[in-house]
A and B are shown apart, each in its own frame.
Chain A
Amino acid sequence: MKTLRNIGLLVAVSSAFGIIGCASGIPPQDLVTARASYEHASKGPAQELDPADVHAAREQLDVAEAAFVKDGDTQATRDQAYVAARKAELAEVRARTMQANQTKEGVVGAMHADERKAVALTAAELSQTKTQLATQGVVLQAQAATLATEKARREDAEKRAAQAAADLAKFATVKQETRGMVITLSGSVLFASAKSDLLPAAQMKLNDVANALTKEDPNSKMVVEGHTDSQGAASYNQDLSQHRAQAVRDYLVTRGIASDRITAQGFGSSRSIADNTSPEGRANNRRVEIVVQPSSKP
């Protein structure tokens, strides 16, 4: 009986030693740290972002725990725990690196999206500008065409005027003065002495004048001026010059000069151009002048 009791005590003591030997009491600091590191890693973003490294840390921690259970606080247990803590930290560092990379990708992606948007906007503006320029080009072409037409019209008018002047120069004196082109016809060619009826030969000449004048600028105004020499009464000369101017004006109207473009005015002997004391001078003073005033329009 005593023997049995002794055996029972021995078993109890052995068991107690066995438990102490296996659980080894207080865990080493490295293992405490490893547990905390793993706890932190497994409950943070690493669990989702880097599960492989978290798992590796778990496995290493298990190795350390098993070593502690089996051998207690040995250098080998501490070494395993040390490595487990490093692996848990590694998982967290790698997870943070992934987060940073994701953030960067997000920023860069947004930046590229902004760039594409800006490029698209610029392209749209460019396209709009091109359209505007094309429209302006069409307008400019139209303006150029109008200018060319206008230039051609002017050149044509100048040519016709030059032709008219050349035609007139054949039988009349043509001068350019400030008041306009002055066509001077000798009185003796147009009228018999003291008469205001046109001579038949005068009509031929005036036909040519009318032809030349119709080639002039159709907007120009004309004044037919009658002039006499100083012989005889001034009032008589005034009337005679007026009638003669009127006769020439009326004839030119019958030859196609618009009546509202042409007027007649007598000046008597008030505007002599030559000496009235000589027969030649008086002959020069007896004259009809047709003044073609420059067109007021451009």
Chain B
Amino acid sequence: MYKSTFFSLALIVPFAAACGASFAPPTQRLADAQSAERSASELGANSVPAAQLSLKLAQDQIAQAQKAITDGDNVRADSLLIRAKADAELAIAQAREKGAKIEVDKAASDSAAQKATNVGQGATK
């Protein structure tokens, strides 16, 4: 009897650890994902088509994660937030890429204007 009880406990304890000790709400991951999403918005991701798509994915997944947390599915919420953060970070990089390309265009245009000015002033030979 004693032996049987011990065996039962040995079986039950690991299950209790997996299911009973429930997964805590992923508040830190939620904060990280939201922070990245805000940064992407502030960097103008909505005005860059590729970045806009990534940002939209991040926002949708953050919303889904919040709903999952409400429903008590913290494991699913955690996964969604990891995905959302990856999308938001991609959106940030895509917005920065657009910014860098705009700067290249501006530099090229400045350079052309300067060349024209120099030629006009006879400062180049």
Contacts and interface: CB of A to CB of B under 8 A. Distances in A.
A89 B108 contact: no
Contacts of B79: 75-76, 79
Contact of A118 (B89, B103, B123): B123
Interface residues of B, number: 27
Contacts of A119: 123
Interface string B99-112: 01101100110110
A87 interface: yes
Interface string A60-75: 0000000000000001
A121 interface: yes
A83 B88 CA distance: 11
B97 A96 contact: yes
B107 A104 contact: yes
Interface in A50-108: 75-76, 79, 82-83, 86-87, 89-90, 93-94, 96-97, 100-101, 103-104, 107-108
B124 A94 contact: no
A111 interface: yes
Interface centre among B76, B90, B111, B115 (most CB of A within 10 A): B90
B70 interface: no
B124 A87 contact: no
Contacts of A86: 83, 86-87, 89-90
A115 interface: yes
Contacts, number: 74
Secondary structure class of chain B's binding surface, majority of residues: helix
B38 interface: no
A121 B125 CA distance: 9
A169 B93 CA distance: 108
Contacts of B104: 100, 103-104, 107
A122 interface: yes
A82 B83 contact: yes
Given A93-B90, A93-B94, A121-B123, A108 B107 contact: yes
A11 interface: no
B63 interface: no
Contacts of A100: 97, 100-101, 103-104
8 contacts: A83-B82, A86-B86, A86-B87, A86-B90, A108-B107, A111-B114, A114-B124, A121-B123
